[in-house]
Amino acid sequence: MTKVMDIFHANRSTNHVVITSVQFDTESPTLSIIGSTCTGATRKARPFEIKVPKLPVFFSGSGDLFAALLVHRLQAAWNDRDVDLLDSVDVFLDNEPAHMSPLALACQKVVASVHAVLEKTMETWKSRHGDMKTEGTDDDQHKKDFELALTKAAEIRIVRHVKELLDPPNLDQFIPLELIT
């Protein structure tokens, strides 16, 4: 993963890299968000990881939501340091731990917000549809209803959960950890 980030940093002149939904182990109940802000002098990756519990439903648009929130949160994190985001690498402290970088802290807030919205969307779906199952039935209408309900579940309920977007809950569940390379 670090090699990929090094390529983006050095060859593509990308200061910040985030890779979502990384699954190192298919048996693990978590996914990982891997990110890096390169060093100013050598443009080497400074990777961090945030573990996120898997949810049993696919949500359409969660990556778009993540990206939109990340742009805002990263700019806010650099503004907190009174730095222009476009000049961020030049002033980034190379001795600062990767997991404390503005990118890592922005990702922490984004992950907390997105995960909360997805959990609440899933809870709403379950309250309306229960735990529909298709196993043990040959009823085609039941299977069609199930597929329609799953499609409906994929619609993220952003507007109803603006509070979670503005004030991310459970930040302590999504602590960035420095990846040792």
What is the helix (H) or strand (E) element at residue 22, kind and residue range?
Answer: strand 16-22
* Number of residues written out for the chain: 181
pLDDT at 101 over 70: yes
For residue 79, CA distances in Å to 45, 76, 88, 146, 175 come to 22, 5, 10, 46, 21
Sheet holding 177-178, edge to edge: 16-22, 30-37, 47-53, 177-178
Whether the predicted pLDDT of 67 surpasses 60: yes
SS3 32: strand
Residue 13 C-beta-side C-alpha neighbours within 13 Å: 3
* Three-state DSSP class for residue 144: helix
Task: Look at strands 47-53 and 30-37 and give their pairing.
Answer: antiparallel
Whole-number Å distance between alpha carbons of 111 and 60: 16
pLDDT score for 18: 95
Stretch 115-124: mean pLDDT? 89
Which pLDDT belongs to residue 133?
Answer: 54
2-178 sits in which CATH class?
A: alpha beta
Residue 83 in tokens: 């730095």
Residue 120 has pLDDT above 80, yes or no: yes
Range name among 59-68, 86-95, 100-109, 138-147 with the lowest pLDDT average: 86-95
